[in-house]
Amino acid sequence: MLQALAITVLLLLAVAGVFAPWLAPYPYELQDRESPSLGPSAKHWLGTDDLGRDRWSRFLYGTRISLTLAPAAALLTLTVAVLVGVLAGVAGGWVEQTLLAATDLFASMPWLFLLLIIRAALPLNVPAWTSVGITFAMLGLVGWTAAARVVRTAVHTARNDGFLLQARAMGSGFTQIWVRHFLPNLRPVLLAQFWISMPLFVLSEANLGLLGLGVAEPLPSWGNLLFELTSHREVAEAPWVLAPAVALVVTLLAMQRLSRRDWQEGVAR
Amino acid sequence: MRSDPKTFDALVAADQASEMVTFLTTERLLFKNRKTQKIEPGLAESWKLQEQGRRVVLELRKGVQFSDGSPFTASDVAFTVRRLVDPKLNSPKSSAFRSGEAVAKVEVLTPHRVAITFPAIVPGIENELAGIPIQSERNREKAGLGPYVVAQYQAGSLIVLSRNPYYWRTEGGRRLPKIDTVRIAIQQNADTEAERFRRGEYHLLESVDPTLYERLERDLPGQAHDAGPSNDIEFLWFNQAPQAPVAPHKLTWFQSRSFRRAMSLAIRRDDIVRLVYQGRATVAAGLTPPGNKLWYKHGLKPHPFDFEAAKKLLQQDGFVLRGDNLLYDRQGKPVEFSLITNANNKARARIASLIQQDLGKLGIRVNITTFDFPSLVERIGRTLNYEACLLGFVNLAQDPMSGMNMLLSSGPQHMWNPNQKTPATAWEQEIDKAMREQASTTDAKKRKAAYDRVQQILSEEAPVLFLAHRNTLYAASPKLHHVLATNDYPRLLWNAEHLSWSDR
């Protein structure tokens, strides 16, 4: 029941994001300057922001950006983590030691400054959507180290598990062992890492905005919509501004539910 | 206060927090009354200008003591001036006291008479003297002449000031200050600050965010105040520097007076005031705010919003709006430029969005790019790798002398085209001439006339599009009396010794 609900929620949000241009009643950047900071109404379901932009339209477009690019960044992270973690776990010896040392080195690098340098190197007239893509790609490329260590530990555990010995004893070849037995057993770990990374990327994008690295105006994202919630008085007086926060929490809960199911299935298997 | 003071040494204080604390713990030779904007006697009872304003002889007040009980004499003034001009100290307050390699000389004539000879004529010399805090020769770090002394400092949290028992000012025969202890909270979050004021934990907020002002006014009637336009200003300019790594066709746009004026006419400044500052700001006509009684050019009008006039100016310059709703220049290039500003400034981000939409109606695509502040400064000051920039000044000094670096074409802060060897345009040459004229005389009328001319040229040529002066918004408990808000820092505590408290 809960799983079905989780899937429904995620599907609804995905649909909202994908079909934002059709579902949004107004362009996300349109300023109706005579109607700033309005409450919810039939015309503006979530009211308007302080420049008179329709909050519902901005929420839908923000969903599109965050729910497209955060999973993409999480996948990128996971791909790098799997490559490094599996290679380290399988090869062992000096290869493993070298990869682990490289992972530690990568994790200890001052990424903030490197991100600033990358931003400074980008051309000034980068279209907003390109800037968004670059931001999430950067997030994906710097976030793999913790996941790589988890994958490597999972590979170690699986390597010594009975089912692999049994498969070898039954004469299964290298490819068959990897594709049919090994990788499916890593699935719960990978999914858990995916669900963990995704919300982190949504929030990281908001924080990067402080450095001018996030999603640029007038494009909305959950990150920069959440960043507007700095005044608790404003939240108390206009609770509808919480929509992106509620959406994020609901998404996290749904993802957590799905990741738990994957984990449980993995343990059962 | 929003941040910790970077120093308690008044001669090197440059940040707002350090300036505030050192203002309360030190005293100056002359006193600038923030309300009247006139210079009054301070530690010096009287002064006389000599040598066409290069030399000033000051008669010091007798019987004044530092907070450790030691007497104040001319030796302390000499010590302060010598320390001020010491190149090792690199004091931000020393510019009037040096000219090239030459520095001001100080002579102790008697224990209570001192003469300072400046290396060059210093227009507004009294203002300069009203900005130099006098330090103790014997006990520089611990003894002060101000109404308060620092009693306690908890980094990131609190500064407690207690009254200086030897403070020299009196009122009705009673030694000031009237309030024994001032607790300055260091609170970064404006929302929390307002909430604590609402709960009665804070009694004076030096600055209130416009978004919080309406709520404070509604919740605590009579306690939130709007003191009118401040010395802060938001503005935008285009990069006109020929050596900048900007596409030549864009430089041609930016160097065109018609283009700049068209941009200015297309911006709805009223919307900036209404939507970004909730009406708590004033449309800017120029660099100098109307609150600056001495230097504001009366009659100078802000550029109005006139969309048709903007279109006409662009047409005259060969720009054409095509069927794709984009504006193209004579060479057929679409008009698109980036507008950089600093990240983490909500008001500025809003202004950029409004400008983006306003100029979009002319068919101009504006890409907003934000940078962390050091990266932004690097771009506008060194690499010049930007096209247009939205920025602001906080607490702009009142005397035009402080604007020399910005207004002279050779100045490093002449933002639209810095460090010019010779003025690139006739109007910049005219500004140079007028600025030098006002800097070479102590005649107030001549100085004002020259600076008026500068303001007029800036308005006509529009190298900088002045947008808005935010208003000085503050909140004060009704238990606190004699709060006289001004637009000059420290806005509320400039007369701290006269503030009083009653529990009723």
Structural domains of chain B, count: 3
Structural domains of chain A, count: 1
Whether residue A196 is contained in a domain is answered as yes
State whether B314 and B437 are in the same domain. Answer: yes
What pLDDT is stored for residue A190 in this prediction?
Answer: 86
Element (DSSP H or E) covering residue B184: strand B181-185
Cβ-based contacts of B385 with chain A (< 8 Å): 124
State how far residue A242 is from chain B, nearest Cα, in angstroms.
Answer: 17
What pLDDT is stored for residue A211 in this prediction?
Answer: 66
Cβ contact (<8 Å) for B271 and A33? yes
**B24-47 as b/e: b if 16+ CB within 10 A:** bbbbbbbbbebeebebeebbbeeb
Do A52 and A36 contact (CB within 8 A), yes or no?
yes
Nearest one of B238, B239, B229 to B284, comparing CA atoms: B229
Cβ contact (<8 Å) for A33 and B275? yes
State whether B465 and B486 are in the same domain. Answer: no
Percent of chain A with pLDDT over 90: 25
Q: Which residues lie below 8 Å from residue A110, measured CB to CB, with a gap of 6+?
A: none
With 50 as the cut, is the pLDDT of residue A47 above it? yes
Cβ-based contacts of A125 with chain B (< 8 Å): 336-338, 367, 387
With 80 as the cut, is the pLDDT of residue A4 above it? yes
State whether B257 and B345 are in the same domain. Answer: yes
- Separation of alpha carbons B407 and B256, rounded Å: 19
Rg (CA), chain A: 22
With 80 as the cut, is the pLDDT of residue A210 above it? no
Structure tokens at B329: 């220049």
CATH number of the CATH domain containing B154? 3.40.190.10
Q: Which residues lie below 8 Å from residue A174, measured CB to CB, with a gap of 6+?
A: none
Q: What are phi and psi of A264, to 5 degrees?
A: -60, -40
What pLDDT is stored for residue A231 in this prediction?
Answer: 66
State how far residue A165 is from chain B, nearest Cα, in angstroms.
Answer: 55
- Separation of alpha carbons A50 and A37, rounded Å: 5
Cβ contact (<8 Å) for B353 and A230? no
DSSP state at residue B170: E
Amino acid identity, position A105:
L
State whether B191 and B243 are in the same domain. Answer: no
Q: Which residues lie below 8 Å from residue B393, measured CB to CB, with a gap of 6+?
A: B231, B232, B233, B235
State whether B271 and B390 are in the same domain. Answer: yes
Whether residue A191 is contained in a domain is answered as yes
Whether residue B228 is contained in a domain is answered as no
State whether B178 and B243 are in the same domain. Answer: no
Whether residue B340 is contained in a domain is answered as yes
Whether residue B1 is contained in a domain is answered as no
CATH number of the CATH domain containing B44? 3.90.76.10
Cβ-based contacts of A50 with chain B (< 8 Å): 211, 275-276, 350
Look-up: residue for tokens 């604590």? Answer: B196
Please give the model's pTM, rounded to 2 decimal places.
0.85
Distances (CA, A) of A209 to A25, A218, A222, B349, B395: 27, 13, 12, 11, 27
List A residues 89-108 in contact with B (Cβ-Cβ < 8 A). Answer: none
**A238-250 as b/e: b if 16+ CB within 10 A:** bebbebbeebbee
Nearest Cβ partner of B215 from A51, A211, A233?
A233
List A residues 219-248 in contact with B (Cβ-Cβ < 8 A). Answer: 230-234
Q: How many residues does chain A have?
A: 269
Q: How confident is the model over A220-254, as pLDDT tens digits? A: 888 778 777 766 667 777 888 888 889 888 888 88
What pLDDT is stored for residue B472 in this prediction?
Answer: 92
- Separation of alpha carbons B97 and B104, rounded Å: 5
Whether residue A34 is contained in a domain is answered as no
Whether residue A41 is contained in a domain is answered as no
- Separation of alpha carbons B341 and B264, rounded Å: 18
Q: Which residues lie below 8 Å from residue A151, measured CB to CB, with a gap of 6+?
A: A81, A82, A84, A85, A86, A89, A186, A189, A190, A193
Cβ contact (<8 Å) for B195 and A52? no
State whether B462 and B497 are in the same domain. Answer: no
Whether residue B136 is contained in a domain is answered as no
Whether residue A47 is contained in a domain is answered as no
State whether B336 and B443 are in the same domain. Answer: yes
Interval A32-57 mean pLDDT? 93
Amino acid identity, position A249:
V
State whether B370 and B431 are in the same domain. Answer: yes
CATH number of the CATH domain containing B400? 3.10.105.10
Domain of A172, in residue numbers? 2-19+52-268
State whether B491 and B448 are in the same domain. Answer: no
Beta pairing partners, B204 = B476
**End-to-end Cα separation, chain B, in angstroms:** 26
Cβ contact (<8 Å) for A31 and B357? yes
Closest residue on chain B to A229 (Cα) = B191
State whether B159 and B276 are in the same domain. Answer: no
Nearest Cβ partner of B352 from A126, A211, A217?
A217
Cβ contact (<8 Å) for B368 and A233? no
Cβ-based contacts of B364 with chain A (< 8 Å): none
State whether B46 and B162 are in the same domain. Answer: no
Whether residue B137 is contained in a domain is answered as no
Nearest Cβ partner of B353 from A124, A217, A233?
A217
**Residue A266's pLDDT band (boundaries 50, 70, 90)?**
low
What pLDDT is stored for residue A269 in this prediction?
Answer: 47
Domain of B43, in residue numbers? 27-129
Q: What are phi and psi of B425, to 5 degrees?
A: -130, 160
Whether residue A37 is contained in a domain is answered as no
Q: Does B354 touch chain A (CB under 8 A)?
A: yes
Q: Count A/B contacts: CB-CB distance under 8 Å.
A: 82
Whether residue B385 is contained in a domain is answered as yes
**Does this complex have an ipTM over 0.90?**
no
Q: Does A114 touch chain B (CB under 8 A)?
A: no
Whether residue A101 is contained in a domain is answered as yes
Whether residue A29 is contained in a domain is answered as no
DSSP string, B77-128: HHHHHHHHH-TTT--TT-GGGEETTEE-EEEEEETTEEEEE-SS--TTHHHH
Per-residue pLDDT of chain B (504 residues; tens, 9 = 90+): 888 999 999 999 888 899 999 999 999 999 999 888 899 999 999 999 998 888 999 999 999 999 999 999 999 999 999 999 998 998 888 888 887 778 999 999 999 999 999 998 888 889 889 999 999 999 999 999 999 999 999 999 999 999 999 999 999 999 999 999 999 999 988 888 999 999 999 999 998 988 889 889 999 999 999 999 998 999 999 999 999 999 999 999 999 999 999 999 999 999 999 999 999 999 999 999 888 888 999 999 999 999 999 999 999 999 999 988 999 999 999 999 999 998 878 889 899 999 999 999 999 999 998 888 888 888 998 999 999 999 998 877 778 888 888 899 998 889 999 999 999 999 999 999 999 999 888 888 999 999 999 999 999 999 999 999 999 999 999 999 999 998 888 889 999 999 999 986
Q: Does B211 touch chain A (CB under 8 A)?
A: yes
